Each structure stands twice: as C-alpha cells, then as structure tokens.
Structure 1
C-alpha cells in the first residue's frame, strides 16, 4: 500500500500559501459552463480583500460571470513565478471557491485601483462588479515532494 504524498499543512505551507495569495494580481478561474457542462477557464484580475479572501472584478458579459451566476462552484489557480528554472518547480496554489457577487463593494474600489490602476477605464461601467471567491479548500504544490492540503483557516480566512 502506497503512502499519500500529500501532507497536512504546517506553518511553512500556510505562510507560503498566504504569500502567494497576497502577491496575486491575476489568476486562472475555472467555472462550470452552463451551456456545455464542460469546464471553462479564464485569466482574470484577482487579489485579496481586507479579510484575505480572493476577490475579482468581472464583466457581467463574460462567459465566466454567467457561469458563476448559474453555479457558484469554481476554482482559481495562482502561481508564484520564479526568475529562472523549470516553471513546473515554481510554487502554485489551487483553491476551490464558492463565488458570490459583492453586494456592498465600499472599500474595494480604492484597494483595487491601487493594485490595478488601468482598471480605472472600466471599473465603473455598469456591467462590471466584484465577486468574492470564498475558499472551501486548497492545494499547495510548493515544489518537488512538497504538496499540502489546506483549509480556509490555513489560508488565514475565517
């Protein structure tokens, strides 16, 4: 019988995952396409809010927004690119999330524009809105032989 190579998170894994999320400005979003039933992937602008949870500014016209409105189950993938070497050895984080529109985005706008100043051109358009991507579970691949399962608490999100 083989041993599970995925480990429970310790302090170093928690810190690495939190650093990846804290530095995040973009992510790959995976949703369930309601028209086809197949996964759909999009690169999105994404960062954490004041609570440490991922948030995204999405156009309501996009396939991923319509998919999230139909089924809030989704996932994001974030990597921490290295300066050199094989990208398959760079730390990366997959997070299963439940997405929901942010009803009161007060405070998010200024925080968002500080990280994404070019978003000023479209942030106030009527089809754009913030979505909170509440983590349900996560998987950190911190390099060869360093795979960890994480909880929202491990990510610093209550």
Structure 2
C-alpha cells in the first residue's frame, strides 16, 4: 500500500495558499461548456475582493460567462509564476469554486482598477460583470512532495482582516 502524497494541512500551507490568492492577478478558469458538455479553460484576470474571496471581471459574451450562468460550478488554478526554474516546482492552488455575479460597486471597481488599471477601458461596458468565485475546497501543491487538501476555512481570511491589495 502506498503512502498518500497529501500532507496534513498546517499554518504554513494555509499561509502559502492565502499568499497565492492575495497576490493573484490572473488565473485559469475551468468551466463546463453548456453547448458541448466538455471542459473549457480560459485565462482570466482575477484577484481577491476585500473579503478575501476570488473575483473576476468577465465579459458576458465569453464562453466562460455563459457556462457559469448555466452551471456555477467551476475550477480555478492559481499559480505563482517565477522568472526562472522548473514550473512543476512552483506553488499552485487548484480550487473548486461556485460562481455568482457581484454588484459593480464603486469600492469594488476602485479595488479592481488598483490591480488592473487597463480594465478602465471596459469596466463600464454593460457586457462586463464581476463574479465571485467562492472556494468549496482545493488542493495546494507547494512544491515537490508538499501537497495539501484545503477546506473553505483553510482559505478564509482571519477574522477582522481584509485582503491586501497591490
């Protein structure tokens, strides 16, 4: 019988996952295409909202938006891309998420533009909407031999804390 590659989740794993979420500017979104039933992957702009939850600004005409409207279940891959080295050793976080549209508040738009200033060009267009991508759980690969299962509680911000921006 082989030993499980999944380690017990500890504070270092939680901190690594939180760091990946707080630092993300983009991610890979996986949805089920309602027309074909097959997975569809898109690289999207993504960051955390003030509550620490992943959010994205998506065009309504995009395949992934139509897919989320039909079935809110999705996957999100967040990577810590490095300038050098082996990408298979870089930390990455695979999340199962549920998507829901968010209101476009002035605070949310301002926060979004801090990280994604070029979004100003399309932020006000009626086709674009913010989506919250609420984690249901996930898997952190923090490097060779360092895999951890994460729960929503593992991914949550500590009480009375807001997600950093920058």
Classify the TM-score, shorter chain: over 0.9
The 3 A distance-change label for structure 1 pair 81 and 104 is closer
TM-score by length of 2: 0.92
Kindly indicate whether the alpha-carbon contact (under 8 Å) linking 2:104 and 2:129 is maintained by their aligned counterparts in 1. Answer: no
* SS of structure 2 residue aligned to 1:107: helix
CA deviation digits over 1:82-140, x for unaligned, max 9?
A: 23211111110001100000135342100000100000000000000000000000110
Provide the residue aligned with 1:11 in structure 2. 11
Say if 1:8 and 1:150, in contact at 8 Å, map to a contact too: no
Aligned to 1:76: 76
Partner secondary structure for residue 122 of structure 1: helix
Is contact 2:101–2:131 with CA below 8 Å preserved after alignment?
yes
Matched position secondary structure for 1:154: helix
2:40 maps to: 40
Q: Unmatched 5+ residue regions in structure 1? A: none
Residue 75 of structure 1 deviates from its aligned partner by 0.8
Count of residue pairs the alignment pairs up: 158
Distance 1:42 1:156 in 2: 25
Structure 2 residues without counterparts, runs of 5 or longer: 159-166
Superimposed CA distance per residue, residues 40-94 of structure 1 (whole angstroms, 9 cap, x where no aligned partner):
0000000000110000000000000000000000011011112321111111000
Map 1:6-155 onto structure 2 (within 5 A): 6-103=6-103, 105-155=105-155
Q: 2:81 & 2:126 partners in 1: Cα distance?
A: 34
Aligned to 2:163: none
State the superposition RMSD in angstroms.
1.2
**TM-score, normalised with respect to structure 1:** 0.96
Runs of 4+ in 1 over 4 A off after TM superposition: none
Contact 2:104–2:130, Cα closer than 8 Å, also in 1: no
> Structure 1 residue 153: deviation in Å?
1.1
